[in-house]
């Protein structure tokens, strides 16, 4: 497994991130344990979760993903010590004691309260990366950054990150952090794939210039780029495939033909493509089996030549590069 520095920090992380969104509502604990064991075996040591993960489509419960990870840590064998652990705060997590503050947001109240719940479920005294799951327009940066400074000083959090932020949000956060003499955000977790290239306009260039590492979520576009989108697959993959129009289905079919032609799996090509962007630290994988973990690790060693990159650009056109050059001249 290859590694990269997380943004401008000195922390090295694996170039694939194990996503645990499916743990609980879709993936049974015993299967999740096998997936995490295989991830460590393959050198995937960067794990991502959230306090809201574990529930989806009316199934499961919030926090279940963190609980499963905590149960796995409790098995010992250096599991916790081997993992760079990331979780998130923002969503409501069904805690009636919070009253109106149970609603979505990242107030200092919620940040400090929710880290305690996450640490309890994870069975650990700290997380390496604590991420704002979404931008909250009602929480000023002095409040948010002050809460992070307190958690870092208390040893409960090592680094602060964000997720689903616009480029302007990242820039404003970093400007506020600089004024406080604080490191600020070290990573931004963002939706980015061959099928979703809008971040190339503003987000990716901004993060690269500011030294904010980009972690890609849904690099397989909810399974569309995983190879089975047109022939079934999981629930999310079926739902995504069902939303495709004729042109979209033709694009996915052309992509699968290209992957077959070069002898690489569609999933590995999609992951390797994200890894080829210098702004990207790592894409998130969401395997449903331990074997799928092993199957995608080849992506970190896969180099797509210029001819393949050009064909991918034709199948999935990007916005034309960074703004404003992409559209202004």
Range of the domain at 213: 3-328
Q: What is the mean pLDDT of residues 52-59?
A: 90
Residue 314 has pLDDT above 70, yes or no: yes
- H-helix or E-strand spanning residue 97: none
**What is the full DSSP assignment across 193-242?**
BTTB-GGGTTHHHHHHHHTPEEEEE-TTTTTTTTT-GGG--SHHHHHHHH
DSSP track, 64-128: HHHHHHHHHHTT-TTHHHH-EEEEEE-S--S-GGGGGGGSS---HHHHHHHHHHHHHHHTSS-EE
Q: Is the pLDDT of residue 294 over 80?
A: yes
Q: What is the pLDDT of residues 57-110, one digit of tens each?
A: 889 899 999 999 999 999 999 999 999 999 999 998 877 788 888 889 999 999
Average pLDDT of span 258-280: 97
| Number of helical (H) and strand (E) elements in the chain, helices listed first | 13, 12
- In whole angstroms, what separates CA 305 from the centre of its chain? 26
Residue 231, pLDDT score: 47
- Would you say 131 and 163 are in contact if contact means Cβ atoms under 8 Å apart? yes
Q: Which residues contact 243 (CB under 8 A, 6 or more apart)?
A: none
Overall average pLDDT of the 214-226 stretch = 95
Whether 109 sits among the annotated catalytic residues: the reply is no
Number of domains in the chain: 1
Q: Which of 159, 99, 102 is nearest to 127 (CA)?
A: 159
**pLDDT > 70 in the chain, percent:** 95
Rounded Cα distance, 261 and 46, in Å: 32
Name the residue with higher pLDDT: 100 or 53.
53
Contact assessment for residue 115 and residue 89, using Cβ atoms and an 8 Å cutoff = yes
Q: pLDDT value at position 242?
A: 57
* pLDDT at 91 (0 to 100): 92
Report the distance separating Cα 159 and Cα 176, nearest Å.
16
Query: Can you tell me the distance from the alpha carbon of 216 to that of 275, in angstroms, rounded to the nearest whole number?
Result: 9
Longest Cα separation, the chain: 58
Q: Answer for the pair 268, 299: CB distance below 8 angstroms, yes or no.
A: yes
- Helix (H, G, I), strand (E, B), or coil: what is residue 288? coil
Average pLDDT over residues 304-326: 96
pLDDT tens figures, 122-172 = 999 999 999 999 999 999 999 999 999 999 999 999 999 999 999 999 999
Peptide bond just before 200 cis, omega within 30 deg: no
Share of the chain above pLDDT 90, in %: 87
CATH number for the domain harbouring residue 258: 3.20.20.100
Query: Which candidate in 5, 53, 90, 109 is catalytic?
Result: 53
Question: What's the mean pLDDT when you consider all of the chain?
Answer: 94
């Amino acid at each position: 497994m290859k590694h990269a520095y997380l943004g401008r920090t000195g922390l090295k992380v694996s170039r694939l991130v194990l996503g645990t969104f499916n743990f609980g509502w879709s993936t049974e604990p015993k299967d999740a344990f096998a997936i995490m064991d295989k991830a460590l075996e393959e050198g995937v040591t960067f794990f991502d979760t959230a306090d809201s993960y574990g529930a989806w489509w009316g199934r499961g419960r919030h926090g279940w993903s963190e609980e499963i990870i905590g149960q796995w840590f409790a098995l010992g064998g250096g599991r916790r010590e081997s993992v760079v652990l990331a979780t998130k705060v923002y969503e409501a997590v069904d805690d009636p004691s919070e009253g109106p503050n149970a609603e979505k947001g990242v107030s200092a109240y919620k940040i400090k309260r929710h880290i305690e719940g996450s640490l309890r479920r994870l069975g650990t005294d700290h997380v390496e990366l604590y991420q704002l799951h979404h931008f909250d327009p009602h929480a000023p940066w002095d409040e948010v950054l002050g809460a992070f400074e307190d958690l870092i000083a208390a040893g409960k959090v090592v680094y602060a990150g964000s997720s689903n932020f616009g480029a302007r949000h990242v820039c404003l956060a970093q400007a506020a952090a600089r004024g406080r003499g604080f490191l600020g955000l070290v990573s931004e977790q963002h939706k980015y794939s061959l099928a979703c290239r809008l971040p190339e306009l503003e987000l990716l260039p901004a993060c690269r210039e500011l030294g904010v590492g980009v972690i890609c979520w849904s690099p397989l576009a909810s399974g569309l780029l995983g190879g089975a989108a047109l022939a079934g697959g999981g629930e999310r993959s079926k739902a995504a495939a069902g939303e495709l129009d004729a042109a979209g289905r033709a694009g996915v079919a052309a992509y699968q033909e290209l992957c077959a032609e070069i002898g690489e799996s569609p999933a590995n090509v999609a992951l390797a493509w994200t890894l080829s962007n210098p702004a990207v630290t790592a894409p998130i994988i969401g395997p449903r089996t331990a074997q799928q973990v092993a199957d995608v690790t080849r992506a970190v060693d896969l180099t797509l030549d210029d001819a393949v990159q050009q064909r991918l650009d034709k199948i999935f056109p990007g916005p034309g590069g960074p703004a404003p050059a992409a559209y202004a001249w």
